[in-house]
C-alpha cells in the first residue's frame, strides 16, 4: 500500500468536510471528538472553506491527510493558538504557547497499517518546523487503545486530566526538537522564468546579453547545489502556467526566484500568487529596468519581494539566490 501524507490545500474543503463527517459517524473513532455529526453536518460551506484555508496555508494550524490512491483515509490537525487565544484544555486564555494535536482519524480499513504513525510524525515535524518544542493532545480515559498508540508514538501522560462534555480526558505530551523539523524543511528552490526568456541568447543581445536560458538554469542549479539546495527550473510564456508552478511550490519548495519578464509590469495575478503561497521570493531582472522605458519602472512585485536584483545580467540570478539563501538557511 503506498500512502502519501501531506498538508491539505485550501480548495480541498469538500474533502475535509467529507472526512470529518465520516469520522464523526465512526462508532469507534467518534469517542475522540467533542463535536457531533449532526452539528458538523449543519455547518455551511463557508465554515469548511475557512477551516480548510486556515489549516492549509497558515502558521496557526496545519491539517495533514493520508491519501491512498485518490482516497483520503486519515487525518490529523495541529492547532497552534497564540498566547491570549482560548485555552482548549483549561478554559480561559492561554498564557504560554501550546501546540495541540486534534482531529486524529484513520479509516477502519487502514487501521493497524502504520498510517497513524506517519500522520503523527508529519504533524510533529511541521510543529517543530514552526519552532514549537512541545506537542500535547487529550485522550478519553476509556480510550485505552488510542492511549497505547500515542505512547508508542512518543507521547507520555502529563498527569493532567480534564473533564469535558464527554467525560474525563487525560493529557499526553511529547517534546520536539530541531531534529524533528529536519525532514520537513524543504531544501528545494523553484526558479521561474516568464515570457520571452526562452529567447535569451538571441533576443536583443545588447540588452539581455548572449547567455541562453539553459546557461541561466545551469548557473543557478550549480550555485544552489553549493548552498545545499535542489533546484527546479521552469519557463513559460503563459501567465497561468507560471501561477500553477508557483502554487505547486507550496508542496516542496523553500523559496522562489522569479524573473517574470514583461508580466512584472502588468500582472496583479502573479503578485497575488506569490503573496498567496507566502514563500520568500526574489524578483530578478537581467537588464536595468530603471534605466529603460518608463513603463518598465513600475513593478507589481518589488514591494512584496524579499530580494530584488536588477541590471546584473545573468549574474543577478546568482546574487538573488545567495541573498535568498540567507533568509531560509
Closer CB to ligand DHK, 113 or 323, in the complex: 323
Nearer Cβ to ligand DHK (9/203):
203
Q: Which of 253, 273, 274, 289 binds ligand DHK (CB under 6 A)?
A: 289
Dist. CA 263–CA 284, nearest whole Å: 12
Q: How far is the CB of 219 from ligand DHK (least distance, A)?
A: 14
Cell 472526512 sits on residue: 19
> For residues 184-213, which are near ligand DHK according to CB under 6 A?
196
Stretch that binds ligand DHK, among 139-147, 209-217, 245-253, 286-294 (CB under 6 A): 286-294
- We find the least distance from the C-beta atom of residue 189 to ligand DHK, in angstroms, to be 18
| Residues noted as catalytic | 208, 285
Using the contact rule CB under 6 A, the part of the chain among 4-12, 57-65, 125-133, 259-267 near ligand DHK is: 259-267
Categorise residue 261: left if φ over 0, alpha if ψ from -120 to 50, beta otherwise: left
Closest approach of ligand DHK to the CB of residue 248, in Å: 23
Nearest approach in angstroms of CB 298 to ligand DHK is 10
In angstroms, the Cα distances linking 257 to 99, 195, 242, 299 are 32, 15, 12, 15
Which of 262, 278, 290, 291 lies at the binding interface for ligand DHK (CB under 6 A)?
Answer: 262
Reduce the DSSP state of residue 254 to 3 states and report it.
coil
230 sits in the region (left: phi over 0; alpha: psi -120 to 50; else beta) called beta
32 binds ligand DHK (CB under 6 A): no
User: Binder to ligand DHK among 72, 261, 267, 325 (CB under 6 A)?
Assistant: 261
| Closest CB to ligand DHK among residues 184, 234 | 234
Give the whole-angstrom CA distance, residue 289 versus residue 207. Answer: 10
Residue that the C-alpha cell 491539505 belongs to: 8
Name which position in 286, 307, 314, 325 contacts ligand DHK (CB under 6 A): 286
Alpha carbon distance 96, 78 (integer Å):
16
Contacting range for ligand DHK; rule: CB under 6 A; set: 68-76, 99-107, 162-170, 254-262: 254-262
Cα separation values, 105 from 60, 126, 146, 295, Å: 20, 18, 11, 54
With beta carbons less than 8 A apart as the criterion, state whether 164 and 108 touch.
no
296 near ligand DHK, judged by CB under 6 A? yes
Least distance from C-beta 302 to ligand DHK, angstroms? 12
Q: Using N-to-C axis directions, what is the helix angle for 115-129 and 144-152, rounded to 10°?
A: 60
Residue 224 as a binder of ligand DHK (CB under 6 A): the answer is no
3-state helix, strand, coil in the chain (%, to 5): 45, 25, 30
Strand partners, 310: 285
Q: Return the residue of 125, 138, 235, 287 that touches ligand DHK, per CB under 6 A.
A: 287
Residues forming contacts to ligand DHK in the complex (CB under 6 A) are: 196, 259, 261-262, 264, 285-287, 289, 296
Amino acid at each position: 500500500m503506498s500512502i502519501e501524507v501531506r498538508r491539505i490545500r485550501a480548495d480541498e474543503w469538500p474533502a475535509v468536510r467529507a472526512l470529518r463527517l465520516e469520522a464523526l459517524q465512526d462508532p469507534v473513532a467518534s469517542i475522540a471528538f467533542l463535536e457531533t455529526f449532526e452539528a458538523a453536518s449543519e455547518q455551511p460551506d463557508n465554515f469548511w472553506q475557512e477551516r480548510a484555508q486556515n489549516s492549509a496555508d497558515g502558521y496557526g494550524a496545519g491539517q495533514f491527510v493520508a491519501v491512498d490512491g485518490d482516497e483520503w483515509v486519515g487525518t490529523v490537525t495541529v492547532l497552534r493558538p497564540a498566547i491570549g487565544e482560548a485555552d482548549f484544555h483549561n478554559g480561559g486564555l492561554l498564557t504560554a504557547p501550546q501546540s495541540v494535536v486534534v482531529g486524529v482519524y484513520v479509516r477502519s480499513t487502514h487501521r493497524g497499517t502504520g498510517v497513524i504513525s506517519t500522520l503523527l510524525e508529519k504533524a510533529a515535524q511541521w510543529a517543530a518546523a514552526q519552532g514549537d518544542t512541545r506537542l500535547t493532545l487529550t485522550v478519553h480515559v476509556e480510550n485505552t487503545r488510542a492511549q497505547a498508540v500515542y505512547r508508542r508514538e512518543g507521547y507520555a501522560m502529563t498527569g493532567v486530566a480534564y473533564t469535558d462534555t464527554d467525560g474525563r480526558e487525560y493529557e499526553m505530551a511529547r517534546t520536539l526538537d530541531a531534529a524533528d523539523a529536519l525532514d520537513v524543511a524543504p531544501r528545494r528552490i523553484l526558479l521561474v522564468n516568464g515570457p520571452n526568456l526562452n529567447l535569451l541568447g538571441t533576443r536583443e543581445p545588447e540588452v539581455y546579453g548572449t547567455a541562453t536560458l539553459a546557461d541561466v538554469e545551469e548557473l543557478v542549479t550549480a550555485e544552489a547545489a553549493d548552498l545545499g539546495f535542489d533546484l527546479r527550473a521552469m519557463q513559460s510564456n503563459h501567465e497561468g502556467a507560471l501561477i500553477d508552478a508557483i502554487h505547486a511550490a507550496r508542496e516542496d519548495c523553500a523559496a522562489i526566484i522569479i524573473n517574470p519578464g514583461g508580466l512584472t509590469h502588468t500582472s496583479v495575478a502573479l503578485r497575488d500568487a506569490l503573496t498567496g503561497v507566502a514563500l520568500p521570493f526574489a524578483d530578478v531582472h537581467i537588464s536595468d529596468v530603471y534605466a529603460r522605458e518608463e513603463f518598465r519602472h513600475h513593478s507589481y512585485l518589488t514591494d512584496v519581494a524579499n530580494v530584488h536584483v536588477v541590471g546584473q545580467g545573468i549574474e543577478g540570478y546568482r546574487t538573488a539566490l545567495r541573498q535568498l539563501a540567507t533568509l531560509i538557511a
